[in-house]
């Protein structure tokens, strides 16, 4: 069955430090992969997506992610974290059935940023 694993429930980094959030997926075909961010009480905002092609994808707010098929991973990175990045981050894989798509989300990683 398709699944998404985010092994880190909480991560704390200092402002200005680099960040890497891990995501592993289980999917039989070439996956469509996404990273979303959610601020408290808010909906989900798309950071970036991977469909095909270049395995390093750039997103909004200075985020990037690298697709590694051999490791079934799609880790999110940012070279220098800002206090406003504190939020919950969700990795998701898109699954197709009869031409329609649904997303399977991981359980999320909550990011805390220290001043």
Partner 1 sequence: DAGVTQSPTHLIKTRGQQVTLRCSPKSGHDTVSWYQQALGQGPQFIFQYYEEEERQRGNFPDRFSGHQFPNYSSELNVNALLLGDSALYLCASSSFGRGAEKLFFGSGTQLSVL
DSSP 8: -
| Residue 40 binds partner 1, judged by CB under 8 A | no
At its nearest, how many Å lie between partner 1 and the CB of residue 5? 11
Could you count the other beta carbons within 10 Å of the beta carbon of residue 78? 21
d(CA 33, CA 25): 9
At its nearest, how many Å lie between partner 1 and the CB of residue 16? 28
| Residue 107 binds partner 1, judged by CB under 8 A | yes
**Range list of H helices, the chain:** none
At its nearest, how many Å lie between partner 1 and the CB of residue 107? 5
Question: What is the b/e burial string over 66-76, where b = at least 16 CB atoms within 10 angstroms of the residue's CB?
Answer: bbeeeeebbbb
| Residue 108 binds partner 1, judged by CB under 8 A | yes
Residue in 42, 58, 80, 84 binding partner 1, rule: CB under 8 A:
42
Q: Considering only CA atoms, which of 42, 35, 88 is closest in space to residue 63?
A: 35
| Residue 46 binds partner 1, judged by CB under 8 A | yes
Summarize as ranges the residues that interact with partner 1 (CB under 8 A): 4, 32, 34, 36, 41-46, 49, 51, 90, 92, 94, 96-108
């Amino acid at each position: 069955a398709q699944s998404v694993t985010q092994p880190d429930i909480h991560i704390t980094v200092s402002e200005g430090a680099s960040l890497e959030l891990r995501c592993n997926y289980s999917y039989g075909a070439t996956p469509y992969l996404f990273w979303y961010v959610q601020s408290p009480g808010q909906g989900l905002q798309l950071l970036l997506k991977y469909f095909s092609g270049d395995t390093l994808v750039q997103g909004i707010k200075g985020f990037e992610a690298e697709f590694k098929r051999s490791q079934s991973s799609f880790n999110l990175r940012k070279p220098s974290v800002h206090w406003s990045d504190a939020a919950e981050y969700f990795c998701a894989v898109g699954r197709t059935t009869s031409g329609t798509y649904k997303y399977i989300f991981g359980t999320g990683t909550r990011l805390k940023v220290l001043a």
